[in-house]
Chain A
Amino acid sequence: MSENMKQNYLNHPKGIMSWLLTLDHKRIGLMYLVSGILFFFLGGLLALVMRFELAAPGNDIISNEIYNNAYTLHGAIMIFLFIIPAIPGALGNILLPLMVGAKDVAFPRLNLASFYIYSFGALFALYTIINGGVDTGWTFYTPYSTQSSSNVVPMTLGIFIIGFSSILTGLNFIATVHKMRIPGLTWYKLPLFVWALYGTSLVQITATPVLAITMVLLMLERFLGIGIFDPALGGDPVLYQHFFWFYSHPAVYIMILPAFGIISEIIPVHSRKKIWGYKFIAYSTLSIAFIGFLVWGHHMFTSGQSVFSQIVFSFITYFVGIPTGVKIFSWILTMYKGQVSFTPPMFYALAFLFLFTIGGLTGIFLGAVALDIHLHDTYFVVAHFHYVMQGGTIVAFLGGLHHWWPKSFGVMYNQTIANIAALGVFIGFNGTFFPQFLLGLRGMPRRYATYDEQFVELHSYSTFWSGILGISIFIAVMNLFWSFIKRNKVDPGSNPWGGMTLEWTHTSSPPHPHNFEEEPVLQHGPYDYDKVIVQKTYKK
Chain B
Amino acid sequence: MAHHNPDAPSHLKHYFHDVNQQYETSKFAMWAFILTEVLTFAGLFVAYIVYRSWYPNMFIDAHLLLDVNKGLMNTIVLITSSLTMALAIWAIQKNNKRLSVLMLAATFIFALVFLGIKYLEYSHKFEVGQLPGEFYSYMGPDAVHLNNPHIFFSIYFIMTGLHGLHVAIGMGLIAWLIYSTQKGNLTSEYYTPMEMIGIFWHLVDLIWIYLFPLFYLIG
**Given A167-B36, A214-B43, A236-B50, do A512 and B15 touch, yes or no (CB 8 Å)?**
no
Question: In the complex, what's the smallest C-beta–C-beta distance from A181 to chain B, in angstroms?
Answer: 11
The answer on a CB contact under 8 Å between A108 and B15 is yes
Chain A residue numbers with a CB within 8 Å of B46 are: 243
**B-contacting 9-mer, from A221-229, A377-385, A387-395:** A221-229
**Given A102-B15, A179-B24, A205-B36, do A171 and B29 touch, yes or no (CB 8 Å)?**
yes
Q: Which of B15, B43, B151 contacts A235 (CB 8 A)?
A: B151
The answer on a CB contact under 8 Å between B154 and A208 is no
Does B96 sit at the interface, judged by CB under 8 A?
no
Does B42 sit at the interface, judged by CB under 8 A?
yes
Question: In the complex, what's the smallest C-beta–C-beta distance from B34 to chain A, in angstroms?
Answer: 10
The answer on a CB contact under 8 Å between B28 and A175 is yes
Q: Which of A171, A178, A209, A512 contacts B40 (CB 8 A)?
A: A209
Tell me the complex Cα distance, A235–B54, Å.
10
Question: In the complex, what's the smallest C-beta–C-beta distance from B4 to chain A, in angstroms?
Answer: 11
Most-contacted residue by chain B among A205, A212, A221, A228 (CB, 10 A): A228
Number of residues of chain A lying within 8 A (CB) of chain B: 47
Q: Which of B24, B55, B133 contacts A226 (CB 8 A)?
A: B133
Does A106 sit at the interface, judged by CB under 8 A?
yes
Does A234 sit at the interface, judged by CB under 8 A?
yes
Does B35 sit at the interface, judged by CB under 8 A?
yes
The answer on a CB contact under 8 Å between A224 and B15 is no
Chain A residue numbers with a CB within 8 Å of B15 are: 102-104, 108, 180
Within 225-263 of A, Cβ neighbours of B (below 8 Å) are at 225-228, 230, 233-236, 239, 243, 246
Chain B residue numbers with a CB within 8 Å of A512 are: 1
Does A517 sit at the interface, judged by CB under 8 A?
yes
Render A104-119 as a binary contact track against B, CB cut-off 8 A, 1 for contact: 1011100000000000
Does A210 sit at the interface, judged by CB under 8 A?
yes
Does A500 sit at the interface, judged by CB under 8 A?
no
Within 149-182 of B, Cβ neighbours of A (below 8 Å) are at 150-151, 154-155, 158
Chain B residue numbers with a CB within 8 Å of A415 are: none
Question: In the complex, what's the smallest C-beta–C-beta distance from A275 to chain B, in angstroms?
Answer: 28
Tell me the complex Cα distance, A220–B154, Å.
10
Does A519 sit at the interface, judged by CB under 8 A?
yes
**Given A103-B15, A233-B134, do A227 and B150 touch, yes or no (CB 8 Å)?**
yes
Does A213 sit at the interface, judged by CB under 8 A?
yes
Tell me the complex Cα distance, A239–B15, Å.
45
**Given A102-B15, A210-B42, A214-B43, do A227 and B132 touch, yes or no (CB 8 Å)?**
yes
Residues of B near any A CB (own CB < 8 A): 1-2, 14-15, 21, 24-25, 28-29, 32-33, 35-37, 39-40, 42-44, 46-47, 50-51, 54-55, 132-135, 147-148, 150-151, 154-155, 158
Task: Supply 29 A–B pairs (Cβ within 8 Å), ascending by A.
Answer: A4-B1, A167-B36, A174-B29, A175-B28, A175-B29, A178-B25, A179-B24, A180-B15, A206-B36, A209-B36, A209-B37, A210-B39, A210-B42, A213-B43, A213-B44, A217-B158, A224-B132, A224-B135, A228-B51, A228-B133, A228-B151, A230-B133, A234-B147, A236-B54, A243-B46, A513-B1, A514-B2, A518-B1, A518-B2
